[in-house]
Amino acid sequence: MSEQALYIHEETLQKHAYILLCQLMSMHDIENLAYYPGCHDAVASLMATGEPELNRNIMSLAALARANDDSRDGLKTHLAENPAGVGTLTRNEKSEILSAREACNKIIHNTSVRLTFETTVEHPLYAEAYRQNKIDDDREYRVPYLAIAGKGQGEGGKPWVARVDLIKWIFATALFGAA
């Protein structure tokens, strides 16, 4: 065996990213099948079985991408090319840009999590390119966000809160996690 770090191949990260993205994008359509919003019917029962799978998929992608980044620095490249990061991190009442790597860390070490969706008229990945190229886009996008909280490591660990744009994070891990 050659002397190099073990790592996950790009195809594996992209497969995990694709499955997670499909799961998130389909949630709204599946929820719309309910008899009425908030109804405890067969649809709600089926959606409840998906929650552990969603948690597993998010955690798996975070762990795999972070482990790869330890040996290959791909997520550092993502931040250099995407300085707006993938969300925000608030510590000590200060808000800062959340890098894809730090999002992986926060996902792995959270103490609470909540998934929300927001509707926007800006493309989740290409809004700036659309503006620069004067591309009209009259579609609406439903973007999933992960609100997570935790505490820094050690006895005096300070609390933190992160807001992860899951679309940006998934693409960062899929396309830069194996760089």
Domain limits, the chain: 10-176
pLDDT bracket for residue 5 (50, 70, 90): low
Buried-exposed string 112-124: b where 16+ CB fall within 10 A, e elsewhere: ebebeeeeeeebb
For 109-159, write each residue's pLDDT tens digit.
999 999 999 999 999 999 999 999 999 999 999 999 999 999 988 777 899
Interval 60-86 mean pLDDT: 90
pTM of the full structure? 0.89
The pLDDT of residue 178 is 65
pLDDT of residue 87: 98
For the residues 1-6, what does the mean pLDDT come to?
A: 57
Q: Is the pLDDT score of 1 beyond 50?
A: no
| Across 27-55, average pLDDT | 89
Rounded-to-integer distance, Cα 82 and Cα 18, Å: 21
Of the pLDDT bands very low, low, confident and very high (cuts 50, 70, 90), residue 91 is very high
Residue 43 has pLDDT above 70, yes or no: yes
* Per-residue pLDDT at 15 exceeds 90: yes
Share the mean pLDDT of the chain.
90
Tell me which range, 47-51, 62-66, 142-146, is most confidently predicted by mean pLDDT.
142-146
